[in-house]
Amino acid sequence: MATGNNTKSYETPNHPYQGERIAREGDLVGRYGLKNKEELWRAESALRRYRREARRLIGEAQGDLPAAEAAGAEFLDRLRRLGILGGDADISAVLELGVTDILERRLQTVVYRQGLASTPKQARQFVVHRHVTVDGARVTRPSMMVSAAAEETVAFDATSPMRDELHPVRAEAQE
């Protein structure tokens, strides 16, 4: 975030009450162990920015996908490095992304998917309580986007009691 800039980095829904949207948001918040809907709205806003950039590139290339991919090579490489896009996906695949594609790249979700925690909420707690490292560096932000290359380096910290397979919390997770 830029210093001195107090604007939000996400957009809230346009209408305060839409039962279907609220139910969908509640499901995603529970499934991914998010702290609140603001975290979901941040992911949705990031997705919106990715789609907007892809539409801009396609529009500037007047619908010529190979030209749009050449112009947006850095943009596509960044999404591939993050693991949001597959290696052979083209620029039109960005328009088909969903918010779950973004949420799957969060550190909290990666810790849960690797089996280091038994629930997404527990994964969040492990990250916040300084038990998790990425590339050997301790990380305390559950919302950190984990690149596909760094995903294999996610582990418990060397000094963490969670590293022990017989720790009571780990034993519960394995049952």
Are 78 and 27 part of one and the same domain? yes
* Helix, strand, coil % in the chain, rounded to nearest 5: 55, 5, 40
The Cα angle at residue 97 between residues 151 and 64, in degrees rounded to 5: 115
First to last CA, the chain: 41
* pLDDT score recorded for residue 175: 53
pLDDT bin (cut points 50, 70, 90) of residue 172 is low
Tell whether 86 is covered by a domain. Answer: yes
Domain count, the chain: 2
Convert the pLDDT of each residue in 88-124 to its tens digit: 888 999 999 999 999 999 999 999 999 899 899 999 9
Are 119 and 143 part of one and the same domain? yes
Across the range 58-65, mean pLDDT stands at 90
Of the three residues 49, 81, 100, the one that is the final residue of a domain is 100
The model's pTM is: 0.86
Are 48 and 114 part of one and the same domain? no
Tell whether 11 is covered by a domain. Answer: no
Tell whether 10 is covered by a domain. Answer: no
Residue matched to tokens 């919302």: 143
Are 161 and 111 part of one and the same domain? yes
Domain that holds residue 146: 107-174
Of the three residues 44, 75, 100, the one that is the final residue of a domain is 100
Contact 79, 85 (CB under 8 A): yes
Question: Residue 111 maps to which CATH number?
Answer: 3.10.290.10
Give the span between the Cα atoms of 154 and 158, in whole angstroms. 12
Top pLDDT among 4 and 43 is at: 43
* pLDDT score recorded for residue 80: 92
What are 138's strand-pairing partners?
A: 133
Closest of 152, 166, 153, 156 to residue 126, by C-alpha: 156
Tell whether 32 is covered by a domain. Answer: yes
